[in-house]
C-alpha cells in the first residue's frame, strides 16, 4: 500500500523530475559516486561550485557571451527538405525532418557547449591545469580549444587506437597547445582513456579540473554536462515555436555516453507527447560480439563512478565495445539514459556500422551535409522509423557533429579512393 496521496499525481512526479538527480546524484537507482575516496572532496567542491555559479548573473553573462560570439550559437534548426522528400509517401504525407545543426558550432560538434561551461567553472575554482578524455577527439578538441582561449595547461588522454583513426583531431589538439597522452591499455579506446584521466585526477586533484565530456562518470558530472548541453533543447524549443508554433513530435539523437542526446532531450522530458529516441552503435550487429549497444544489450553495473547499464561479461569484467565510430564505442552510458530507458520515457535502438555509413552518404548526397559517423547513426535510423510513422510528424535530429574527422575511416570502410580531379 502506498501512502502517497493520489491527488498529487502528475505534479508530484513533475517535481521529482525537476529534482533529478537527487542529493546523492541518483537518477532512480542509477548514477551515484563510485570513486576512490581521494576524489570525493573534489566532487563535492565541483558540485558546490556548479550550484553557486549556474544562476550567477556574471557567470551566465560570460557563458552566454562566449556561446554567442566564440562558439557561434544559436545553431540553426534546419528543415531538411530533400531528406524529407526522400521519406515522403506517394500521398505527400511523411515525416518532416529538421536538423539541429550542432555541427556548425566552433570546433564542429556539440562538445564545446560543455567544455566551455566547465572551463569557466574551473577558472572560478582556481584550477589552472585541465585534463580530459576523448574518444573521437571532438571533446578533446573542444577542451584544447577552451584551454587555449583561457591560457590553461591542457592534457588530453586518448586511446592509441583512437589516435590512429582520428589523426586529424590529434593534430588539431596539439596545434592548440594541448598535450595528447596516448593510452595503450585495454583496446586503446575511450574506456581506457577515461580510466587514465581518472587516475591523473586522483593524483593531481588539488590543482586539476577534469573536464569530463559526456553525461557519464560520478555525480555531479552527469548533471553538469547535461545542464551545459541543455542549451541544444532550449534553442530547439524556441525555434520550433518560431517555425510552426508548437513542439517537435519526435527527438532523435545518437548515444555513446549520451551528452548530445541528453542536451536535446532534457528540455522536453516533461512534455509527455514528445517521443525521445536514442540510437546506439550496433557495430557489426547487436547480436554479434562486436558492438557498443549498452542500453540494448548491457546489464546494470558500475563503471567510471556511476551505476548504469554496462557491457560486461558473466564475471562483471567490462567488455571492450566496438563501433566504427570512435565517439560511440563506450561500454557504459550516462545514468540518466538508463533511468529514461527503464522508466519508458525514452526509447533506445541500435544501428550497425553498415547502416551508419549509408546514413552518412545519404545526408551528404541529399543535403550537402557530411555528418560525423556518430551522428550518422541517428540519421540512419530514419530508414527504420519513417515507415512506422503516420501522418506528418515533425522530427528533430541532433546533427551533433560534422564528418570531416571521419573521412579517412569512411574511405577505408567504403573501400573507395577519393575521386581524382
Partner 1 sequence: MVSVSGCMDALRDRGQCALIPFITAGDPDLETTAKALELLDRSGADLIELGVPYSDPLADGPVIQAAATRALERGTRLEDILAMLKNLSPRLKSPIILFTYYNPILNRGIEAFLQDIAAAGVSGLVVPDLPLEEVEGLLQVATQVGIEIILLVAPTSPKARIEAIAQHSQGFIYLVSVTGVTGIRTEIQSRVQDLLTELHGVTDKPIGVGFGISQASQAKQVREWGADAVIVGSAFVKRLAEGSPDQGLQAIETFCRSLKAAVTES
Q: Give catalytic residues, as residue numbers.
A: 111, 133, 400
Options 13, 15, 16, 203; binder of partner 1; rule CB under 8 A? 203
**CB 333, min distance to partner 1, A:** 15
Task: Establish if 48 lies at the interface with partner 1 (CB under 8 A).
Answer: no
For residue 223, which of 13, 47, 33, 17 has the smallest C-alpha distance?
47
Q: Which stretch binds partner 1 (CB under 8 A): 32-40, 109-117, 150-158, 411-419?
A: 32-40
Question: What's the CA gap between 318 and 224, in Å, rounded?
Answer: 25
Question: Looking at beta carbons only, is 199 or 365 nearer to partner 1?
Answer: 199
The reply on whether position 193 binds partner 1 by CB under 8 A is: no
As measured in angstroms, the least distance from the Cβ of 183 to partner 1 is 11
Please choose, from the candidates 238, 252, 254, 265, the residue with its C-alpha nearest in 3D space to the C-alpha of residue 393.
Answer: 252
Q: Is 55 in the site for partner 1 (CB under 8 A)?
A: no
The answer to whether residue 387 forms part of the interface with partner 1 (CB under 8 A) is: no
* Spatial separation of the C-alpha atoms in residues 401 and 405, rounded to whole Å: 10
Phi-psi region of 397 (alpha: psi -120 to 50; beta: other; left: phi over 0): beta
Residues 6+ positions from 361 with CB-CB distance below 8 Å: none
Alpha-carbon dihedral 168, 174, 330, 83, rounded to 10 degrees:
-40
Number of residues interacting with partner 1: please give it, by CB under 8 A: 38
Does 311 contact partner 1 by CB under 8 A? Answer: no
Beta bridge pairs of residue 276: 251, 346
- Please say which residue, 120 or 318, places its beta carbon nearer to partner 1: 318
Question: Which residues 6+ apart lie within 8 Å of 49 measured at CB?
Answer: 121, 124, 125
How many angstroms separate the Cα of 81 from the Cα of each of 49, 94, 354? 44, 12, 24
- Does residue 195 interact with partner 1 by CB under 8 A? yes
186 part of the interface to partner 1, by CB under 8 A: yes
Mark residues 110-149: x for contact with partner 1 by CB under 8 A, - for none: ----------------------------------------
305 is a site residue for partner 1 (CB under 8 A): yes
CB-CB contact of 154 with 177 (8 Å): yes
Residues 338-367, interacting with partner 1 (CB under 8 A): none
For residue 300, state whether it binds partner 1 (rule: CB under 8 A): yes
303 belongs to the binding site for partner 1 (CB under 8 A): yes
Per CB under 8 A, which region of 104-112, 114-122, 184-192, 406-414 contacts partner 1? 184-192
Report the C-alpha gap between 390 and 315 in whole angstroms: 45
Cell numbers for 264: 536535446
> Does 326 contact partner 1 by CB under 8 A?
no
- Beta partners for 132? 156
Q: How many helices (H) and strands (E) does the chain have?
A: 18, 14
318 binds partner 1 (CB under 8 A): yes
Rg of the chain over all Cα atoms, to the nearest angstrom: 20
Q: Is 375 in the site for partner 1 (CB under 8 A)?
A: no
Smallest separation, CB 217 to partner 1 (Å): 11
Confirm or reject binding of residue 316 to partner 1 (CB under 8 A): yes
- What is the rounded CA–CA span in Å between residue 174 and residue 406? 18
80 near partner 1 (CB under 8 A)? no
Residues at the contact surface with partner 1, assessed by CB under 8 A: 24, 32-42, 185-186, 191, 195, 198-199, 202-206, 299-305, 307, 310, 312, 314-318
Amino acid at each position: 500500500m502506498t501512502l502517497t496521496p493520489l491527488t498529487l499525481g502528475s505534479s508530484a512526479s513533475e517535481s521529482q523530475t525537476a529534482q533529478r538527480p537527487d542529493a546523492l546524484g541518483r537518477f532512480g537507482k542509477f548514477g551515484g559516486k563510485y570513486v576512490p575516496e581521494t576524489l570525493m572532496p573534489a566532487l563535492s567542491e565541483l558540485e558546490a561550485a556548479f550550484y553557486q555559479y549556474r544562476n550567477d548573473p556574471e557567470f551566465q553573462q560570460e557563458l552566454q557571451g562566449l556561446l554567442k560570439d566564440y562558439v557561434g550559437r544559436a545553431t540553426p534548426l534546419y528543415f531538411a527538405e530533400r531528406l524529407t522528400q526522400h521519406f515522403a509517401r506517394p500521398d505527400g504525407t511523411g515525416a518532416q525532418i529538421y536538423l539541429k545543426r550542432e555541427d556548425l558550432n566552433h570546433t564542429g560538434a556539440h562538445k564545446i557547449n560543455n567544455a566551455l561551461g566547465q572551463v569557466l567553472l574551473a577558472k572560478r575554482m582556481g584550477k589552472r591545469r585541465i585534463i580530459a578524455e576523448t574518444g573521437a577527439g571532438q571533446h578533446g578538441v573542444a577542451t584544447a580549444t577552451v584551454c587555449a582561449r583561457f591560457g590553461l595547461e591542457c592534457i588530453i588522454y586518448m586511446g592509441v587506437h583512437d589516435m590512429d583513426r582520428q589523426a586529424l583531431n590529434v593534430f588539431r589538439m596539439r596545434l592548440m597547445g594541448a598535450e595528447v597522452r596516448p593510452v595503450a591499455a585495454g583496446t586503446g579506446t575511450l574506456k581506457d582513456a577515461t580510466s587514465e584521466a581518472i587516475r591523473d585526477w586522483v593524483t593531481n586533484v588539488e590543482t586539476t579540473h577534469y573536464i569530463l565530456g559526456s553525461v557519464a562518470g560520478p555525480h555531479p558530472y552527469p548533471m553538469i554536462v547535461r545542464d551545459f548541453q541543455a542549451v541544444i533543447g532550449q534553442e530547439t524549443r524556441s525555434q520550433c515555436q518560431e517555425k510552426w508554433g508548437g513542439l517537435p513530435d519526435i527527438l532523435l539523437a545518437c548515444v555513446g555516453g549520451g551528452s548530445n542526446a541528453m542536451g536535446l532531450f532534457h528540455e522536453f522530458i516533461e512534455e509527455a507527447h514528445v517521443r525521445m529516441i536514442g540510437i546506439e552503435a550496433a557495430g557489426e550487429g547487436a547480436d554479434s560480439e562486436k558492438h557498443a549497444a549498452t542500453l540494448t544489450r548491457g546489464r546494470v553495473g558500475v563503471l567510471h563512478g556511476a551505476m548504469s547499464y554496462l557491457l560486461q561479461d558473466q564475471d562483471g569484467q567490462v567488455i571492450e565495445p566496438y563501433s566504427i565510430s570512435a565517439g560511440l564505442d563506450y561500454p557504459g552510458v550516462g545514468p540518466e539514459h538508463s533511468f529514461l530507458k527503464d522508466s519508458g520515457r525514452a526509447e533506445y535502438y541500435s544501428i550497425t556500422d553498415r547502416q551508419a555509413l549509408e546514413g552518412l552518404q545519404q545526408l551528404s548526397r541529399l543535403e550537402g551535409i557530411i555528418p560525423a559517423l556518430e551522428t550518422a547513426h541517428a540519421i540512419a535510423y530514419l530508414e527504420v522509423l519513417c515507415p512506422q510513422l503516420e501522418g506528418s510528424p515533425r522530427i528533430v535530429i541532433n546533427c551533433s557533429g560534422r564528418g570531416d574527422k571521419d573521412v579517412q575511416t569512411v574511405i577505408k570502410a567504403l573501400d573507395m579512393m577519393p575521386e581524382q580531379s
